[in-house]
Structure 1
């Protein structure tokens, strides 16, 4: 058999075996890798290359080596799940680099990182002054996480006393010009509603690359043709405007009437409407 055919068959075999081994090892192989996982990825890649090109070695020995190495990796990962001591020994613990605004030089030497590299990594976290850092730690995967000082932390709605309502994840109802009925069912909607919304926007399903519905029932569309402008949904703005108009009407009724009971009723309605608007306004703006 010609060598090019043998190499092609070995390559296909290696791709199939690698695919199943990677699925078995899990997604961490292609995300943030620990030291051992990094070594595992390099070794498995080298073994796969040997299976493809080393014609002097039996292919099944390479496959056997892949299976054994993957089995050892799975065993070590299982041991890490069961034992914190094993995790600390294999992946090491996180190393504190800055504590209470002070750089720990001994820890920098321990992990062999220079002050220049530390400053570079801090700048990658948008921290340009060491004095602005309260706490910094290097994780086992080599990433540095930074906790800024109190005065340099971003302002949040909680700091301002603003209550933000819970918001659910948008549901994708159209993908690549195809309607996803299960997503519509999850929202309690149907195709008739979807086609009505598409008619309002002046587009057809076939022209939609992606369509999502948020928890307010608004449909956001991205078309295949980016030159076409799709009008943005205005359900939230219309609802807020309706509430504000109702509030203005109630205020007007309270001013126009001379009946004490009616005035008291309108005042009570005004207070309730103001409370409702204050709660929903962050979501409707």
Structure 2
């Protein structure tokens, strides 16, 4: 067998083995590298390159080395899930670098973190003013977790006593010009509904690169032809307008009727609907 073909065979074999090992070690090995995992990644890469190009070495010996370097961290990862002490030994633990708005200089030195690096990390978390930070922790992954002071945190619906709404996951109903029937059914919609909505905005399925339906059954589309302007979804606005019209109709009925009982009923229903509109308005106007 020619040498070039042997290199191809050995490289493909090493690639498959590394892929299987990475899948077994889990996604954490990719997203959050600890010191041990960093060393592991470098070593496995070196070993894979070695067994791919070193024609004098026996291929099985390289595979055995890969297996050892896989088995040890795989076993330690399993044991660390059972032992907090071992987990701290292998992965370390987060260290507080800012507490109650004050920088912990000793902890900065232990993390080998300069003031410039600390400010860079803070800016990455949109914390440009050190005085706005209440608490910050350097995590084992090297990421800085930041808690802003209460008065500097973004306003939430609970702060404004707004009612909480259960958000439904948006569904991709058109992809690459093709209708997706399963997401449509998940959203409780039919292909006929989608065809009608597309007809309203004057586009065809073939010209839609991506189409998404939100919790209010509003259709957002991105077209292949970026020069075409698509009207913004009006589902929320139409719902709010219909509710207001219904409220006005009830008030009109209350004024028009001569029956005292019916007048009281219309007035009461109109007041209830007005409260519903008041509760829903922040969500329907966003």
CA contact (8 A) 1:250 1:270 kept: yes
Cα distance per residue 1:10-66 (max 9 Å; x no partner): 221122222211111111222122222222211111111112221221222222222
CA offset at residue 257 of structure 1? Answer: 5.1
Q: Which residue of 2 aligns with 1:216?
A: 216
Q: Which residue of 2 aligns with 1:268?
A: 268
Gapped runs of 5+ residues in structure 2?
none
Q: Which residue of 1 aligns with 2:108?
A: 108
Q: Work out whether 1:144 is the aligned partner of 2:147.
A: no
Looking at structure 1, the residues matched to 163 and 127 of structure 2 have their Cα atoms a distance apart, in angstroms, of 29
Gapped runs of 5+ residues in structure 1?
none
Q: Which residue of 1 aligns with 2:207?
A: 207
Q: Which residue of 2 aligns with 1:71?
A: 71
1:1-285 correspondence runs (5 A): 1-256=1-256, 260-285=260-285
Q: Number of aligned pairs?
A: 285
Cα distance per residue 1:177-208 (max 9 Å; x no partner): 22222222222322222222222232222222
SS at match of 2:120: helix
Looking at structure 2, the residues matched to 32 and 202 of structure 1 have their Cα atoms a distance apart, in angstroms, of 47
CA offset at residue 86 of structure 1? Answer: 1.3
Q: TM-score, normalised by structure 2?
A: 0.92
SS at match of 2:140: coil
Moved more, 153-162 or 243-252: 243-252
CA offset at residue 8 of structure 1? Answer: 1.6
Q: TM-score, normalised by structure 1?
A: 0.92
Moved more, 96-105 or 217-226: 217-226
SS at match of 1:43: helix
SS at match of 1:172: strand
